[in-house]
Amino acid sequence: MFKADAHPYLVPFDGSFKTANAKTAPGETDKKKHKKRLKQSIAEMRELQRMFYAHDRYSLLLVFQAMDAAGKDSTIRTVMSGINPAGCQVYSFKKPSAEELDHDFLWRTTKCLPERGRIGIFNRSHYEEVLVVKVHPEYLKYQKLPYPPNSRKIWKERYEAIRAQEEHLARNGTVILKFWLNVSLEEQKNRFLDRINDPRKNWKFSSGDIEERQHWKDYMKAYQDALNETSRPWAPWYAIPADDKPYMRMTVSDIIVKTMKRLKVSYPKISEEELAKFDEMRVLLEGNG
């Protein structure tokens, strides 16, 4: 089973992670250096993805969670800019549909998991069920559960279900990387104001964003619990500082590239018999002009 390498932003597997101690700004702020390293990582990822697709033994699942305005969309767009779209799929999960509410809470993400050889990206995910729903437990009444949910037991059961599914996926070749883009309360305010003041960004802003901001402490507690309960060597969480976007994007891309390199994927080898046929085909093609 694939296991994560040590990394400064790797959430420990011993339950000791504290959101209060997770830095939102890096110590190093050389934006030119960060952008240069990101460009290099994108180039490396381009070639790695080609081999990953051809190797066809693993799938890669990237999960992005964050508070509003942390930069999930732009990070996905930038970091994956060199990837062949044929080998990649992105799903965004928002308010559950009527069909989704007629299934268990893992159903809507399970049916979107990547096939072998492909990279799957979840922009929000099944973790909404232990983040947003935990902060707003009143949402449970819409989920058609067969029994009245016990407020403490249901979260324990959902963490268990998530851990079990992720371990099953890892055993069967899905490499899982989970990123919490950790934006600060102050930086979120600045980005919301930017969305209000810039007409080109007005469409990004919603009054609901301000309402959710009032629950900041509850969300931080929910993230702390979720990351502690579900960060495992085969499905690790990384708490990435998100106030500095170039640094955040560089860090995310660096983790993905290092992980893909550890898989040691390669192009399939051609047998001697097939190579002999290649020689025959070459003669035929050259003879036909």
Burial of 63 (0-12, 13-18, 19+ CB in 10 A): buried
Residues 124-142 as b/e (b if ≥16 CB within 10 A, e otherwise) read bbbbbbbbbbbbeeeebee
H or E stretch including 248? helix 245-262
CB neighbour class for 56 (10 Å; exposed up to 12, middle 13-18, buried from 19): middle
pLDDT digits (tens, 9 = 90+) for 248-279: 999 999 999 999 999 999 999 988 888 888 88
246 within a domain of the structure (yes/no): yes
Segments forming the whole domain that contains residue 279 = 19-287
Give the model confidence (pLDDT) of 133-191 as tens digits.
999 999 999 999 998 887 779 999 999 999 999 999 999 999 999 999 999 999 999 99
Residue 9 in domain: no
Whether residue 54 lies inside any domain: the answer is yes
Per residue in 23-71, pLDDT (tens digit) is: 999 988 899 999 999 999 999 999 999 999 999 999 999 999 999 999 9
Residue 5 domain-assigned?
no
pLDDT at residue 103 tops 70: yes
What tens digit of pLDDT does each residue of 191-244 get? Answer: 999 999 999 999 888 888 899 999 999 999 999 999 999 999 999 999 999 999
Cα–Cα distance, 22 to 13 (Å, whole number): 15
58, amino acid identity? Y
Q: How many CB atoms lie within 10 A of CB 76?
A: 20
Is 44 contained in some domain? yes
Residue 99's alpha-carbon distances to 96, 104, 107, 143, 187, in angstroms, are 8, 10, 10, 11, 36
Provide φ and ψ at 215, rounded to 5°: -105, 25
The model's confidence at residue 289, banded by pLDDT at 50, 70 and 90, is low
* Total of domains in the chain: 1
8 domain-assigned: no
Q: Is residue 210 part of a domain?
A: yes
CATH number of the domain enclosing 204: 3.40.50.300
Average predicted confidence (pLDDT) for the chain: 94
* Whole-angstrom distance, CA of residue 63 vs CA of residue 74: 14
Q: What is the pLDDT of residue 54?
A: 96
What angle separates helix 216-230 from helix 153-171, to the nearest 10 degrees? 50
Within a domain: residue 12? no
